[in-house]
Structure 1
Amino acid sequence: MTRFVQAGETRIACDVEGKGDALLLMHGAEASRQMFSALVPLLAPHFTVIAYDQRDCGETEAPERPATLADLAGDAQQLLQALGFRRAHVFGSSFGGRVAQALALLHPRTVDHLVLGSTWPLPRPYEELCPDAPQLANLRAGLPSTAEELATWFFPEDFLRTRPELRRLFAGALPASARSARRGATVRTTLERGVADIVAPTLVLAGELDRVVPPGVTLSMAGRIRNADTVLLPGVGHVTALQAPQVLAQHIVRFLHPEGAKA
């Protein structure tokens, strides 16, 4: 059941399921908490799983101005407090991994363990690290006519053959609006601090076939985070939570809750 939590100036829509230590899930740039619908039931036996919508996404309501990464980190910290959690494990996917990094840097006492998936490191911008960024931007600008080609960036072709409905996943993209413009501006923000300052125990996950964020970009982060662990997921593209939720859940449980990994 959806809950609405007032976190400062933001009314956050979230789903809370399970029991045990809190595990906060952070979605990607153009997604919502719904991207975790297949993942949450796999994690709920081990954790109190919190999936929520960031500003200008899903059902969350916030002031009509562009937010920054610092704002999103503050929202997450206040959401956890409002739900009664002083600390939480955090998983961030794609741009959600940037929000997770910001939370770990700006509110380090809030983050117990950190899992970063298919993301790129602060403070560097996406366009600097991913040479195909202009081509991806053009496909996004061409929606809905480019939906099927865009899907091949997020999912491997072999997987799309088994889930053909996902070829049209982006066809329902809403037309450009003030809200989408604010979200775009938010995604382009960064912090001055970088991943080398993260102190939380960290697991870095990358999909072998990720075209949106090349796996080398994601995995390179581990060399700058003290004692970070890494996993390369064979045959997996960008959206692991949709393509391989069981594999993703196994790695998260193993890292965060090793004694329950075989439960």
Structure 2
Amino acid sequence: MDGAVVTMEQVGGRTLRIAAWRLDMPSDHLPVLFFNGIGANIEAVAPLAAAMPERGFIMFDMPGTGESPDPVVPYNPFIMSWTASQLLARYGLDRVDVMGVSWGGAMAQHFALQHPRMTRRLTLIATTPGILMVPGNPAAFTKMADPRRYVDPDFMAKHFKTLYGGLTASGGTDHKANHISRLKPPSPRGYVYQLMCMMGWTSLPALPFMKKETLIMMGEDDQIVPLANGKILKAMIPNSRLVTFAGGGHLFLLTHADESVAAIREFLDAPDTAKERARQAKRAAA
């Protein structure tokens, strides 16, 4: 992970492995707080941080994933959003752009709702409003639940398209090999606790009250999180826009990297709206 400062820190009573990019670099852009997908370690999404060198990034391995130790007790989105806020405070960050992919997209929604003053804009990638979602391909879900996808490269390679949908015509093999090489399996307890964390959770009732400018990004060939879920998010979040990627599966952030980064940059770099400026002025006066 070139350029990342990786540490193990006690945050909110938990030991977490944290990666920070360029947080001490002068920048006209807010840093990004990134929530990863279920079972995924920091390295899986590190290329995104590397592809956006103009801004800082901070992300962490959830308890029991990557190199963060196993959780002692279960946790929920309220606890982990509070933990993330404590992490930001430790780095002196009082406002960030929040981003999440898949399971982490649900966490990103919850963080923005729980900590609106710390959130400027929200980017949701290949995600859902929680339990009230349109389910994906059953074949993809059965493969997704199989722990061999983390520990058996042959299993992962064989079922990669079923798990993650479409790949670009050029470089598909390289995308697959690079992604597999970056994965580190979560512990059984870590994986189960992540599943339990979102059990029964949904953002749907709260989304109409989400005041943040929101970018929703979805792959049109996603076997795990169908495009319909992005359309639901778009319909429910007032200040949102939906961008889709033709031929993109669940890992379009990887297979359509250039297009994905361009869409994120365009969204995050757009001038603040009048509503955002008014909220900022109110926040500064408080």
Shorter-chain TM range is: 0.7 to 0.9
Matches within 5 A, 1:30-179: 30-45=39-54, 47-61=55-69, 63-122=71-130, 124-125=131-132, 128-132=133-137, 134-142=138-146, 143=148, 144=152, 146-152=155-161, 153-159=163-169, 162-163=172-173, 166=176, 169=180, 174=185, 177-179=188-190
Offset, 1:137: 3.4
Amino acid at match of 1:81: A
Q: TM-score, normalised by structure 1?
A: 0.84
Asked whether the 8 Å contact 2:136–2:226 carries over to 1, the reply is no
Q: Which residue of 1 aligns with 2:259?
A: 247
SS of 2:159's partner is: helix
- The number of residue pairs the alignment matches comes to 254
**1:174–1:228 distance in 2 versus 1, CA, 3 Å:** closer
Larger Rg over CA atoms: 2
- Bigger shift: residues 146-155 or 229-238: 146-155
Q: Which residue of 1 aligns with 2:230?
A: 218
Offset, 1:185: 1.8
> What RMSD, in angstroms, separates the aligned Cα atoms of the two structures?
2.7
- Bigger shift: residues 62-71 or 218-227: 62-71
Q: Which residue of 1 aligns with 2:206?
A: 194
Offset, 1:59: 2.0
Amino acid at match of 2:44: M
Offset, 1:4: 2.7
- Quote the sequence identity (%): 21
Offset, 1:72: 1.8
Q: TM-score, normalised by structure 2?
A: 0.78
Asked whether the 8 Å contact 2:230–2:242 carries over to 1, the reply is no
Q: Which runs of 4+ in 1 moved over 6 A?
A: none
Q: Which residue of 1 aligns with 2:283?
A: none
Unaligned runs of 5+ in 1: none
